[in-house]
Structure formats: structure tokens, C-alpha cells
Amino acid sequence: MNVIRIENVSKTYRRRYQRGEYGTLKTAVANLFRSSDRHPSDKTSLMALKNISFDVKRGQFMGIIGKNGSGKSTLLKILAGVLKPDNGRIEVQGRVAALLELGAGFHPDFTGRENIFINGSIFGLTRQQIKEKFDEIVDFAELSEFIDSPVRTYSSGMYMRLAFSVATHVDADILLIDEVLAVGDGAFVRKCEDRMRKFKEQNKTIILVTHDMGAVERWCDDAVLLIDGNMICKDKALRAIERYVRQTGLLPEGVAPEDLTRLQQTMGFKAKPGDQCVRLAWVNPPLKDYMATKIVRRTDRYPIHHEDGTPVYWFNGTECVDGSLTNGQPYYYGIFAHDKQYQYLPPVLAEATPLPEAELIRLTTTEKLTADTTVSVTQIKIDSIQMVNGKDTPTTLFTTGERMNIQIPYSLDLSRPSKATVTLRILRDDGFCVYETDTHAEAVEIPSTATQGILNFEMKSLPLLSGDYFLEIQSADDPADIPDQPVSRYSFSVKSSALEKGIIRPDHQWKLEIERPGSTPRTSSSQE
Amino acid sequence: MNIIQDIREIYQYRQLLGSLVARHLKERYRGSVLGFLWTLMSPLLLMLVYSLVFSVYVRIEMQNYAIFLFCGLLPWLWFAQSLTEGTNSIVMGGSLVTKSMFPARVLPTVCVIAAGFNYLVSLPILAVFLIVAGIHVHPITWVVVPIVILIQFILTEGLVLMASALNVFYRDIQHLLNNLITLWFFVTPILYPVKMVPEKYQWILVANPMSSLIGVYQDVLFNGQMPDWLALGKVGIIAVAILAAGFWVFDRHKDRFAEIL
């Protein structure tokens, strides 16, 4: 049974109100003579919601996701009846409790006690009913000491606790929550979760607006994705999250490649008994089996899930934008975790890999970890590589025929024997493999006596013609493991002054031999 | 009819109204030594000032002028206070209006009721004055005063609803109104009896619903005579019409309060 039905709801804000300019009689009179101003045009209005339609069933836990300014809060305010839509119809059956914003609905000068009574009466409870619930509300909010202080003296956490406590104790049928849980401490948020679970068990409806994709994934059955006021989809929560992450791009919080090691240390993931270690490989061309969603921030967690929508792994990672390595394309470091219950647990596996944006992940191997093993996938680890030109300057732009040296710093865990191998691959920008080699095939031994070193791959004269290329590096403890190892991918460009075509420029010389009647053959040569 | 629904909605929120009115009254005198006594002191002091001016400097020949003045001043203060505070109430409502499902019309109503409460508690002082001065009130008083109070409440509520809603859109209203109330005070026969108004300005009295209401108080309490029933009836009709208009204006604008504030 649908308790909320929204049909073709649109909402336009007039910008002059947005700027906080209030109308005066003067402008009102002036506008009477300028009829065109009375209709919001593109310049003076902002369309916050465009023809939104969806239903919410009784007992459903629905998320609303989208970037800042995508219309989420406007939609929630319309559901709460605080704002009225310009067009469309809204039907809401049952009593609604809303937590719209921090401190919303509280009068700052009133005490917590007075605000509880006022809020309770807004929900339509009698004084007697509020009195009966009063202690419970205060207990839940953990505010008994401060209940007779004006709420303006409260911290944001206290505000939130009081608001949440009131909203969930007034016997509403529908609970609307807008991002307020973010200010609560961990313990209280867990209490809220319990409370919401109880709410759901009572077959009540909850609508949650949030940026916390983990929360949406954990709690919501379905989610609505809004982008710029348009409803992109209403789908199972995971699917909606995936769309969100794919469509909205990234938040600007990146970590430089050299911070990777530090990042791994600070995250300090350790495996627990029963956890599974997952090795992932990037494949090109993409396989369909498993998909990775884009990673936004270090602390954000996004699910990697199977095609049918079941979450399989958590990806916990961080974006890295470094134009020198990737031509300005963002790529990602990630830490993958898996637990069989699909619960919100700390990630377990630390394996960082730059992830090219459009590529998908193929699950290659899984292995059980033993207790308290710090995850270490391979003995050899490669830090971020560097490409230098003839002048030993790091660059990603080379000229045909110039010296190019690829420096591959590595560290080696000497505790176990290994036949460490490094594979190097050059690909054209469409993925065509131009060249591949590895240290094992060329009998280059990485000595198992030093823990660190730099492997140099030097081309005295770069044989590539102009174009964009990828450099791929893989490392493994045994040559046979190479195909299973993650690929680090970097990009570089080559310029060429000559009007030659193709991919490579073989080292060559033109020689011309002309035979004239009655004379000895003369040789002319040309170079370049 | 719409107005009945509107009234029912206000009635529905009576508990909320109750807490807010109590709150409003407490808030006003928070931190003052005399506290609630100011509710009684303010009109008394005002009466002293006006009596001084109008019986010592500008001489109005009338026995018990101070008491005459008090009869009209008390209901006027209720009216003026409701209007000035009520007009601002939505704008000052803050997140209650913009971010919760708060029934906005409660706010101006709270101002009218709170000021009305102040008025009611100051009535006993007037009674004491009347007794001390030996003025015999007309027995109809017990019937008429509640009626007048009801009519004044309806009239004030209607005006305040209108002004508070429009003030959200045009902040000029509050400034305009403050000056208008001063003017209104002087054209209403509070400081002077009706008979002092020159013939050619009598139309102002007719057009001013407050002058009829205050006239009723003066008639039954001070002059000890029957009120002008016709005038009272007219004001009653005007008051209901203004209340209906107030609801209409308010309902037309309330959906955009949250957006604009």
C-alpha cells in the first residue's frame, strides 16, 4: 500500500528570494508595470525539482541521494508540507515527523522542555500524552541535565539528539530525516539505527536524505537519485548508489600518489579470522562479471557488487588526481574488503591499485586469511614509477628518438623466498599492446638480498611515433602469477617531428643505389 | 465555509497555542525585577502621563478624566500591542516556520491572545478605580463587555493575520503599521470624548471600528448608559468580514513563507 504518492512535482525558487532580498512595496508597485517580471524566467528562477514522480509503500525505507543542490532537501520539505510544489500532486497518508535540518522546529530561546512540548503539540499530541512520553524522550536524548536550558546553548550533537528523540517518540507513521545524523557521535548514531530498525519493524515508513552511501546501502530498501532536480532513477538502493557514483563524478578530496604508503599505514587494516582476502585485477577490455563503483573519499565506502545487485565487496579508497601520471584523468587507489554477512565492518585487505576510471574489476582469486595476518599479497611491491627524459627530468611527454627511462622503485619482503618478476607493457591508447616484456623473460634477476631498489627500463632512443600511450606495470613473486596481479597503469604522450605514420619508428637508414650506364655504382645516403 | 475550517484548525492547536502564549508572557518580563507586575504598571504609568498632559496642560473639562481615559486606553493597548507584535511574528518565527510543519497562523494568534491576557488581568484595576471614584456601571456591562471583547478579538485577529502574512513579502508593512497605529490612536476617541470631535470629522469615527468598540466601553463603564447597539452590530459584522479577509490573505500566502524567509 502506498503511503506517499508524488506525481509530477516541480518546484522553482525565485532567485531574488534566494539572494535574501525581500520584496518591498516599491518593487511590488514597479512590477505591476513590468508584467514580464512577474513570470520567473531562466535568469530569475532556479528549478529545484523537475517533474518528480514516485510512490513509497508502507514500511519502506527509502533513501534520497544526490549531490548538494540536487533538490533532495527541497523534496523532503515538500513531503513534510513545509514547502508547496508549483505543480503536481502529493498524497501523504499518515502522520509525518520530520527532521529537516539541525535545529529546525526548535525555538532557540526556549528550553529543551518547552521545545519538547511545542514539538509534541505540533505533531498533535495532547499535553497529557507528551507528559507521558517526556521522560522517555529525555532519556533517549541523554539530555536530562540540560533539559531546562535554552536550546541555543546546546551543541549541534545535543540538538540532533533532542530532535531525533522527539521525532521518533511521537508515534508518527512516516519519518523524514535529512542528513542530521551526521553530527551525532558513533554511539548515538547506533542508537538511532536501532530506533529506526524498530520503526521499520512496526511497518512504518522512513525517508532518509543523505550523502552517506554506506548508510543508504545498510538501511534503505530503495533509493531515489536526484541530479539537478531530475529524478534519475528509483531503484534498489545499491543500484541507485551505483548510478549516483557513476553519474556525479568525484568530490575534490584527493591524495597524492606519494601519500599512498602513508595512507595504507594510517588505515592500518588488519585481517580478522574468517575474513577473505580478495585479489583484484583490472582487465582490459572490461569483463562484465564484477563492477567497481567510483571512489570518492578516503572515508567513504562503496559497494562493489555483482550484476544482480548483491553486494560482494566493499571498496574503501581514495581518489588520486595527478595529471602528470594520468593526463589529468583521475584514477584511484583502493582498499578492498569482503565479509560474508555484507555488514558494515572494517575493511580487511590492504592492497592498493590505481584504477582506470572506466575499467571494471575481475575477481581472480580469493583466499582465506589466518588470524591476525596483516595482509600482504606479494613480497614485491612497486611504488609509483617515474618516467624521465634525456635530461633526467620527470615528464609524461616525450619526443620520438629521445631517451626515455622508466624508473620502477620496488621493495621486497625478504622473509619468504621469491622469484620476483616485473612485467612492463606499452599500450596504445585504444588498448592495443605495442610491446610487452618481463624481467624473467629477459633473465634480469631482482636480487633477493636487498629490500629496496630501483629497476630502470631505459630506451636510448624512443621508437614510438606520436600518440598517447599507456605504460602498464605488474609485479609478482613468481612469473606464473603475473596474470593474476593488479596492473598499475600510467599514461604518457609522444610527439614526433617527422611526418611518419604508424606506431613505431624502427631504427633505420635509407640508402639509394643508382646504376648509370657506363659508370661505377655511386652510393648516396640520407638520414632522417 | 473556509473560515470555519480555519477556526477549527486554530482550535485544534489549542494546546500548542497555550504553551506558546504562556511562553510569550513569561519571556517578556524575563530578567526584570517587577516581572509580571509590569503588565499592570505599564498601562497605569501611561494613564498618568496622559492624565497629566490632558488635565493639567491641555485642559479637558471632565470629572474623573483619568478613569475615562483608562476605560479606552486598556482595550486600545490590547489592540495596538497585538498588531505591532503580531505583524512581526511570522518573520521572527525563524526555523519554526521555515523548517518544520509548524502551523504558521498560530504565531500571530499567540500575540493577540497574549496581549488579550494582559488586558484581562488589568481589568480588575479599572474596576477598583471605578469603585473608588463611585462611578456606577450600567448593569448591562456584564453582558456587553464579553461581547465587545469577542468582537475586538475577531477584528484584531483578522488584521494581524493579514499584516503578518503581507509583512513576510513586504517588510515595509511593519514600519508603516507602527506609524499608522499612532495616528489611529489619536483619531480614536480615547483621550477625548466623542462629543469633542468636530462635526465635519465625524465620518472618521464611523469609519473607524475601534472608535465604536471603545465607545461601548465608555458608555457602559463610565457614562453608565446603554451602548450604541447599532454601532456595535456594525462593528461585529465588519470584524467578521475582516477575519474572513485575514484568513483569505493568510492562506493565499502561507505556502510561500518557508521559501521566502
**Quick check: helix, strand or coil at residue A12?**
strand
Residues of B in contact with A100 (CB under 8 A): 99-100
A363 pLDDT exceeds 60? Answer: no
Q: Do A104 and B100 touch (CB under 8 A)?
A: yes
Residues of B in contact with A25 (CB under 8 A): 170, 172
Q: How many CB pairs under 8 A join A and B?
A: 82
Residues of B in contact with A108 (CB under 8 A): 94
Residues of B in contact with A98 (CB under 8 A): 100-101
Q: What is the DSSP letter of B137?
A: P
Of the partner residues B16, B98, B259, the one whose CB lies closest to the CB of residue A118: B16
Cβ neighbours, 10 Å, residue A514: 9
Residues of B in contact with A149 (CB under 8 A): none
**Alpha helix (H) ranges present in A289-408?**
323-326
CA-based nearest distance A171→chain B, Å: 16
List all residues of chain A from 53 to 82 with a beta carbon under 8 Å from chain B.
77, 80-82
List the end-to-end C-alpha distance of chain B, in Å, as a whole number. Answer: 30
Q: What is the DSSP letter of A29?
A: H
| Of A54, A55, A46, the residue nearest A14 (C-alpha) | A46
Average pLDDT, chain A: 69
| Of A172, A183, A184, the residue nearest A95 (C-alpha) | A172
Mean pLDDT of A374-386: 66
Q: Distances from the Cα of A48 to the Cαs of A15, A88, A142, A202, B50, in angstroms?
A: 11, 14, 37, 33, 56
**Quick check: helix, strand or coil at residue A270?**
coil
- Parallel, antiparallel, or unpaired: how do β-strands A230-236 and A222-227 relate? antiparallel
CA-based nearest distance B248→chain A, Å: 17
Amino acid at A178: D
Mean pLDDT of A228-256: 61
Residues of A in contact with B8 (CB under 8 A): none
A107 touches chain B (CB under 8 A): yes
A134 touches chain B (CB under 8 A): no
Amino acid at A287: L
Site of grid cell 529525555: A138
Q: DSSP letters along B173-191, please?
A: HHHHHHHHHHHHHHHSTTS
Amino acid at A314: W
Task: Give the torsion sign (CA, A386, A392, A393, A396).
Answer: negative
| Integer Cα distance of B151 and B78 in angstroms | 13
| Integer Cα distance of A482 and A473 in angstroms | 10
Mean pLDDT of A312-338: 34
- Give me the phi and psi of A273, to 5 degrees please: -55, 140
B180 touches chain A (CB under 8 A): no
A32 pLDDT exceeds 80? Answer: no
Q: DSSP letters along A398-439, please?
A: EETTS-EEEEEEEEE-TTS----EEEEEEEETTS-EEEEEET
Give pLDDT, residue A317.
Answer: 37
Cα angle B243, B244, B245; round to 5:
90
Of the partner residues B23, B169, B258, the one whose CB lies closest to the CB of residue A82: B258
Residues of B in contact with A101 (CB under 8 A): 95, 99
| Of A115, A108, A104, the residue nearest A73 (C-alpha) | A104
Q: Do A82 and B99 touch (CB under 8 A)?
A: yes
- Per residue in A179-196, pLDDT (tens digit) is 777 677 778 888 888 888
Residues 6+ apart with CB under 8 A from A388: A394, A395, A404, A405, A407
A96 touches chain B (CB under 8 A): yes
| Integer Cα distance of A268 and A277 in angstroms | 15
CA-based nearest distance A26→chain B, Å: 9
Instruction: Give the chain B residue nearest A120 (alpha carbons).
Output: B16
Of the partner residues A105, A109, A124, the one whose CB lies closest to the CB of residue B102: A105
Give pLDDT, residue A159.
Answer: 86
Mean pLDDT of B96-122: 88
CB A348 within 8 A of CB A275: yes
| Integer Cα distance of A344 and A94 in angstroms | 32
Residues of B in contact with A81 (CB under 8 A): 101
Of the partner residues B23, B102, B172, the one whose CB lies closest to the CB of residue A25: B172
Superfamily name and number for A2-248: P-loop containing nucleotide triphosphate hydrolases (3.40.50.300)
Test the A interface: residue of B15, B98, B171, B172 with most A CBs within 10 Å? B15
Least confident of A25-34, B1-10, B54-63, B222-231: A25-34
Please provide the size of chain B in residues: 261
A131 pLDDT exceeds 50? Answer: yes
Query: Is the domain A381-495 a CATH 2.70.50.60 member?
Result: yes
pTM of the model: 0.61
B23 touches chain A (CB under 8 A): yes
Q: Is A164 left (phi over 0), alpha (psi -120 to 50) or beta?
A: alpha
Test the B interface: residue of A107, A113, A130, A132 with most B CBs within 10 Å? A107
Residues of B in contact with A104 (CB under 8 A): 95, 98-100
- Domain(s) of CATH 2.70.50.60: residues in chain A: 381-495
Q: Do B100 and A82 touch (CB under 8 A)?
A: yes
- Nearest 10 degrees: Cα torsion A185, A191, A194, A196: -70
Of the partner residues B15, B20, B256, the one whose CB lies closest to the CB of residue A126: B15
B161 touches chain A (CB under 8 A): no
Give pLDDT, residue B215.
Answer: 92
- Domain(s) of CATH 3.40.50.300: residues in chain A: 2-248
Residues of B in contact with A92 (CB under 8 A): none
A503 pLDDT tier (thresholds 50, 70, 90): confident
Amino acid at B38: W
CB A372 within 8 A of CB A390: no
- Per residue in A186-229, pLDDT (tens digit) is 788 888 888 888 888 888 999 999 877 667 777 788 899 888 88
Angle between helices B38-51 and B65-89 (to 10 degrees): 130
**Alpha helix (H) ranges present in chain B?**
2-12, 14-28, 38-51, 65-89, 95-98, 106-132, 141-169, 172-187, 202-207, 209-217, 229-253, 257-260
Cβ neighbours, 10 Å, residue B217: 26
Give pLDDT, residue A283.
Answer: 23
Residues of A in contact with B258 (CB under 8 A): 77, 82-83
Q: Do A96 and B96 touch (CB under 8 A)?
A: no
Least confident of A283-297, A351-365, A439-453, B48-62: A283-297
Give pLDDT, residue B242.
Answer: 95
Instruction: Give the chain B residue nearest A27 (alpha carbons).
Output: B170
Residues of A in contact with B172 (CB under 8 A): 24-26
A311 pLDDT tier (thresholds 50, 70, 90): very low
Mean pLDDT of B215-244: 92
Give pLDDT, residue A132.
Answer: 92
Residues 6+ apart with CB under 8 A from B126: B67, B70, B71, B74, B221
Of the partner residues B12, B23, B102, the one whose CB lies closest to the CB of residue A114: B23
Test the B interface: residue of A21, A99, A118 with most B CBs within 10 Å? A118
Instruction: Give the chain B residue nearest A29 (alpha carbons).
Output: B170
A432 touches chain B (CB under 8 A): no
A44 pLDDT tier (thresholds 50, 70, 90): low
A13 touches chain B (CB under 8 A): yes
A36 touches chain B (CB under 8 A): no
* Between A198 and B115, residue with greater pLDDT: B115
CA-based nearest distance A82→chain B, Å: 6
Least confident of A169-173, A335-339, A523-527, B20-24: A335-339
